[in-house]
Structure 1
Amino acid sequence: ADADPRRARRALVVSAAALVAGLVDLVTGLRFVPGLVATTPLAAYGLVRAPRLGRRGRAVAVVALGGAVGVWITQFLGGAGPQWGGRYLLTSGACGLALAAASSVAGGSGARRVFVALAVMGLAVTAVGVVWTVERTRATAAAMARLADRPEEVLVFEDGFLAREGGPLVLDEHWLAVPDTLTPDAPALADLLTTLGVERVGLVERERGQEPALVAGHRPVGVDRIEWVSGLALRVSTYELAP
């Protein structure tokens, strides 16, 4: 039995919260699961149990929490979450896992049961992430194949990272990416298309319900929607060279 019932209750509360977070991620469907607690609930459990492990346990917890706070304060918030993830929290997570393992050894049967339950939940969330990655890869390949079959002479992507999703397929296609400093209606894009002798062009955007963009020197002639992944879709607006 735990010598300090209050610490045991705190550990159980954190464990329950971690389990709920993991279950919510599982029932909402396949997707990228963010968050240290949701993906590695054992780490949170270990940090809560650290005081029971004495001076060394508290020292490890200080390192883990200090590193996490430093990351949260200084990290750059941007896109590409699945690609970048919480790599700078790996040290904090590893410390939490070590504390959880030590606590399960030093604690009673109750601590070991909690350890096993949270380990299973963490593995389940990881499995969801792996399956989601497979689904996303296949869906992206299908969407890019449909783009490659488009009749336009050139496809212009508003997001260069989106075009890069095509992988080696891009090497055989006439695809352009609009720089962040340039908009589709910029004369520079029209000049480039004219230089290339392009009369029919497709503008690829993420579907957000926005108004169709304008392409300088061209008139719109049609819009198509291509399903992508996890409810996301791509919109391809077709333009022809204006007379």
Structure 2
Amino acid sequence: MNTGTCPMRGRVDDHFTRRLKPREEHSLREHLPACVSCKSIYERHLLLRRLDPKAAGGAQERLGRGLGLVRPPMPVAQGAAVLGVVALLVLGVMTTRPDPFANTEGFTARGGAASPSSEALRVYRVRPGMAAEAVGRTIRQGDELAFAYQNPRARKWLLVYGVDEHHHVYWFHPSWPDPETNPLAVKAFEGTALHELPEAISHAFDGKRLVLHGVLSDERLSVKQAEALMKGRDSSEPLPLAGAEHTSFPMQVEP
């Protein structure tokens, strides 16, 4: 596709001006991984807002709307009646994450102290036409998962994947739909601001237990290199990368 002909081009712009409905956002997330031109335009929007922190539509508000948490503007009288409820929903999901596992402390440098933020990686469940919700102890088969992250130590590359009790690996970022390819870790933007990853991805999980992993590293691994490092290791163990920052979320997979 090219920028001039893709019918989804305008939807990318509408995302950043907060004019899309949740169903349209869901359609855009499905479209982005397969369309180079739209994904490039999306990334340019992100870069503009990182260069200009005062740009309209902060990252947290935009992510909230993109995941269906913030509704379009409503009449003043109606808005006043629900303003407090909406504010609580956005604040609760965007600034906190359930911490059901005592050993989950956000990204941690292997062999070092925890990063300045304990909210470095955030995981959301996304369903068509419904508000997103922060993931807790469980996910369901068919759930689309979306991610956002902070990178205060300015690591260069990011991997997000899951491993089940059968040692099957499920890739989210980079996505890996074609086994004949060998995609590389995605670029990580630095800073304490919340950076969302544009796609929400679902998998047909084989097991009943899954550990989601996020890895920030200065070494750009391919998915095959990362899987080679996983061999012989427990599903909850981090990749043995010097200086990498790692987080994990153990959870149950329900039908």
TM over 0.5: no
- Structure-1-length-normalised TM-score: 0.25
Q: Which has the higher strand share?
A: 2
Determine which structure has more spread, i.e. the larger CA radius of gyration: 1
TM-score (norm 2): 0.24
Higher relative contact order, chain-length normalized (CA < 8 Å, sep 6+):
2
